[in-house]
Structure 1
Amino acid sequence: MKKVTKAIGLTLVAASLLVSAACSKTEAQALDSKKITIGVTGGPHQQIADQVKKLAKKDGIDITVKVFNDYNTPNTALDQHDLDSNNYQTLPFLKQQVEDKNYKITDVFKTVAFPMGIYANSLKNVSELKKGDKIAVPNDPSNEYRALKLFESAGVIKLKDGVKTTATKKDVAENKLDLQIVELEASQLPSQLDEVAAAAINTNFAMGAGLSINDDAIYHEKIKNNPYPNYFVVRTENKQDKIIDKLEKYYHSDTIHTYIEKEFKGSVVPAF
């Protein structure tokens, strides 16, 4: 009887340890207050993060900047704890990713805005578009909507009433020139300008190709009070962590504000 009781006791202890281990794995972990990894896209976000890194270093905070060349991987990496945070995306894009992939991530503060522009190699104005021309837009949901709205604002097409942020070329209600709308991965758009008459290109990829929104875009979103600011994003469990407040102060500092204005000359603008 004693052996049976002992065996039961050992089983209960083992079960308790397993439950404790399972709980510890799911328990929220606060971010290190002196060390953080930030995921960014190459170009302006990387440059700004490098400047923030310099400010943080003076306070003994070590920032690792990890660079990505696409719009999807940084959120996956953050959700899977391969990053502590990221900074590269608009709110509509973030919300769509959370809805589609059930990520447990959230925005915490605004950083900068990248006014989207329409670029062309052989046109000086959108009014020069001809019947049957090809125009290109990003193929990810929120950026495609944004690009289509930009072409609509330029008077090129008209979208269906009540269209949502997940709009695609199928949601175009009016296309008087019978333009062929080509959907491409956002980073590939600059290299395709010889293949299309015009393309709506996100500023970070445009700048990477040596294009300036003020000098080269034939039409663009408004630069001041741009409606698509980018956000600093963390896992939802970390949104109240102490280091987040510190990072917001660095990103919103006069030093970073001045750097953005001098370095990017309107292609990237402070959103704070």
Structure 2
Amino acid sequence: MKKQLLILAAAAVFASALTGCGSSAPSAPAASSAAQSSAAQSASAETPVTVKIGLTGTFNEDIWAPAAEELAAEGINLEFVQFSNFSLPNQALVNGEIDLNAFQHHAFLNNEVTSNGYAITPIGDTYIVAMNVYSNSMSSLDELKDGDQIAVPNDATNEGRALKLLESAGLLTIDPAAGASPEISDITDYKVQVKFVEMDANLVASALPDVAAAVINGNYALDSGLKADDAIFKETEYADDSYFGLIAARTEDAENPVYQRIVEAYQSQKTIDVFNDEFAGFFVPAWTL
């Protein structure tokens, strides 16, 4: 239950990828360019070094634990800095308050770079929080009838993702010009004339008793007691890396060998074991796709 509650902290970044939250977050005083991170200036870990990584949600520290233990033995000490406002970790990275961050997916970072001009570069992928289709009344989407209702998240990023998932199931066709975040108005054809019930991503699972099916983000499915194997249709294919979580560095530090080693340690079977053992398989290792 503790893991299920903690995982809610991830929801805003994957369920509201193009918007920020309003709460405050811990932050250190802005560093001068000359003092921006001794880690960023290190060419190797021959001398012990501390790398500050910005996260959102303490559950991420559990995911990072195997890598942190392995790296500590090599003289690379990871210090995790928690933020509760998803608009802050990239600013903190640019300011030199942290060395890396690992809280966002590519769609979010791309929007941040476009909107704010940040010189930030992805240096490795982390995970995808799977989005699947669930139903209390059907075992297959083939059972859908005209007029049936499907609950979907109402934010732009996740609604588009939900619609594309239903398209991959053969339920509908979306105008290709709509891009990565289509809207209901972009649907050009229906196999079955379903109706969509749009609601906040964190409420979709609660609608299951009242709709034929619901497209639910993995973090909320887990918190609601659902299992990945309960899904009647699963997200297994990704046209691009839009929803892949990532580790980000300042662009000037993207090739830092210490940072590259951190990515290598994270992208391991031990991390996959954490996904499977502690998070019921809802987290998919993005670097394997």
TM-score with structure 1 length normalisation?
Answer: 0.71
Tell me if structure 2 keeps the 8 A contact 1:38–1:87: yes
Instruction: Report the alpha carbon displacement of residue 244 of structure 1 after superposing the two structures with TM.
Output: 0.7
Amino acid of the structure 1 residue aligned with 2:161: R
Structure 2 counterpart of 1:133, from 131, 144, 149: 149
Answer yes or no: is 1:170 the counterpart of 2:178: no
Residue of structure 2 equivalent to 1:216: 230
- 2:177 aligned counterpart, secondary structure: coil
Residue of structure 1 equivalent to 2:252: 237
- 2:70 aligned counterpart, secondary structure: helix
1:1-272 alignment runs, 5 A limit: 25=32, 29-30=36-37, 32=39, 34-42=49-57, 45-67=60-82, 74-75=89-90, 77-79=92-94, 81=96, 83-130=98-145, 131-137=147-153, 139-141=155-157, 143-175=158-190, 176-184=192-200, 186-194=201-209, 196-213=211-228, 215-222=229-236, 228-264=243-279, 266-270=281-285, 271-272=287-288
Amino acid of the structure 1 residue aligned with 2:254: K
Question: Using the alignment, how far apart are the partners of 1:59 and 1:73 within structure 2?
Answer: 30
Tell me if structure 1 keeps the 8 A contact 2:56–2:83: yes
- CA pair 254-125 structure 1, distance change in 2 beyond 3 A: closer
1:182-206: CA deviation from partner (whole Å, max 9, x where unpaired): 153x444434545654332332333
Tell me if structure 1 keeps the 8 A contact 2:204–2:214: yes
- 2:53 aligned counterpart, secondary structure: strand
Tell me if structure 2 keeps the 8 A contact 1:137–1:199: no
Tell me if structure 2 keeps the 8 A contact 1:144–1:167: yes
- CA pair 194-70 structure 1, distance change in 2 beyond 3 A: farther
- 1:220 aligned counterpart, secondary structure: coil
1:4-34: CA deviation from partner (whole Å, max 9, x where unpaired): xxxxxxxxxxxxxxxxxxxx95569345262
- 1:222 aligned counterpart, secondary structure: coil
- CA pair 120-235 structure 1, distance change in 2 beyond 3 A: farther
Question: Using the alignment, how far apart are the partners of 1:145 and 1:192 within structure 2?
Answer: 19
Tell me if structure 1 keeps the 8 A contact 2:33–2:96: no
Instruction: Report the alpha carbon displacement of residue 148 of structure 1 after superposing the two structures with TM.
Output: 1.2
Amino acid of the structure 2 residue aligned with 1:47: D
- 1:233 aligned counterpart, secondary structure: strand
- CA pair 201-99 structure 1, distance change in 2 beyond 3 A: farther
1:102-161: CA deviation from partner (whole Å, max 9, x where unpaired): 3332210122333321123444332344415142135143x3332211011123332113
RMSD between aligned residues:
3.5
Amino acid of the structure 2 residue aligned with 1:55: E
Give the aligned length: 246
Tell me if structure 1 keeps the 8 A contact 2:150–2:194: no
Amino acid of the structure 2 residue aligned with 1:221: E
1:22-51: CA deviation from partner (whole Å, max 9, x where unpaired): xx9556934526223323344864421233
Amino acid of the structure 1 residue aligned with 2:36: Q
- CA pair 61-73 structure 1, distance change in 2 beyond 3 A: same
Question: Using the alignment, how far apart are the partners of 1:162 and 1:225 within structure 2?
Answer: 14
**Structure 2: segments with no counterpart, 5+ residues:** 1-30, 43-48
Amino acid of the structure 1 residue aligned with 2:226: L
Question: Using the alignment, how far apart are the partners of 1:71 and 1:192 within structure 2?
Answer: 27
- 2:133 aligned counterpart, secondary structure: strand
Instruction: Report the alpha carbon displacement of residue 250 of structure 1 after superposing the two structures with TM.
Output: 1.2
Identity, % of aligned positions: 30
Deviates more, 1:111-120 or 1:191-200: 191-200
Question: Using the alignment, how far apart are the partners of 1:43 and 1:123 within structure 2?
Answer: 36
1:164-216: CA deviation from partner (whole Å, max 9, x where unpaired): 113222322234424124153x4444345456543323323332333222x22
- 1:155 aligned counterpart, secondary structure: coil
TM-score with structure 2 length normalisation?
Answer: 0.68
Amino acid of the structure 2 residue aligned with 1:58: A
- CA pair 70-129 structure 1, distance change in 2 beyond 3 A: farther
Amino acid of the structure 2 residue aligned with 1:147: A
